[in-house]
A = this chain, B = another copy of it.
Amino acid sequence: MKLLCDRIRKDGKALNESVLKVDSFINHQVDPQLMEALGEDFARHFQDRGITKVFTIESSGIAPAYVTARFMGLPLVILKKQTSRILNGNVYQTKVTSFTKGTTYQLTLDRKYIDPEDKILLIDDFLANGEAATGAATVIRESGAELTAIGILIEKSFQRGRRRLEDAGYEVYSQARISRLDQGLIEFLED
C-alpha cells in the first residue's frame, strides 16, 4: 500500500538490521488521518469474507484495528497480555514469547467474546517472527471459531512470520512489506 510505504520512507527510522521505529505516526504518536486510510484499506480488502469480528492484541494494534472494525460495522475484541495464568475456566489463554521485545505474557481472551461460528479478522501493527499472531490463532482455534485472515501494517518479510502463518493455513495481507533494514536503510519488497 503506497500511502503507508511512503510514510515509512519519510518518517520511519531504521536503527539496525532488525529494528524499525515508527513511533512518530503509529506506535507512540498516532496520526488519525493515516489510521483512517489503513483501516479503510483493510475493510475493503476483507469485505467479502463473511468476517464477524475484528481482533487485535493490545496495545499498538488497537487504533488501526478499531478503524477497520468501524468501517466493517463489526465489534472489536482486544486480546489482553496478562502477566500470569488465570486459573478459572472463563478464558482462553496461551503463552507468547516475543523474540523481538524479549517479553513473555499470557495472551488472554474471555470466552464470552468469541463463538464457534465466528469468522475472525486479526489486525496487528507488526509481523516479524509471528509469535503474537500464532498465539492469537491458538486461542481462536481453541474456541472453535475460524481465524479467517490476518491484516498487518508492517511486515518484516526477511523474518519468518509470514511463512509460519501461511504454512499453518492462514491468509496474510500486509500493507507494507519490508525486505531489508539497516541503519538508515529501508527497502521494500516491491522496490
* Closest chain B residue, CB of each to CB of A57: B59
Q: Which residues of A10-40 have CB atoms within 8 Å of chain B's CB atoms?
A: 23-24, 27-32, 35-36
User: Does A75 lie at the interface of the complex (its beta carbon under 8 Å from any beta carbon of B)?
Assistant: yes
Docked CA distance A35–B65 (Å): 13
User: Does A99 lie at the interface of the complex (its beta carbon under 8 Å from any beta carbon of B)?
Assistant: no
Residues of A within 8 A of B (CB): 23-24, 27-32, 35-36, 58-60, 62-63, 66-67, 69-70, 73-78, 80, 110, 112-113
Chain B residues near A29 (CB-CB < 8 A):
75-78, 112-113
The reply to whether B24 and A112 form a contact with Cβ atoms under 8 Å apart is: yes
* Closest chain B residue, CB of each to CB of A78: B28
Further 17 A-B residue pairs, CB within 8 A, beyond A28-B77, A32-B70, A63-B76: A23-B113, A24-B113, A28-B110, A28-B113, A29-B78, A29-B112, A30-B69, A31-B75, A32-B69, A35-B70, A36-B70, A58-B58, A59-B59, A60-B78, A62-B63, A66-B66, A66-B67
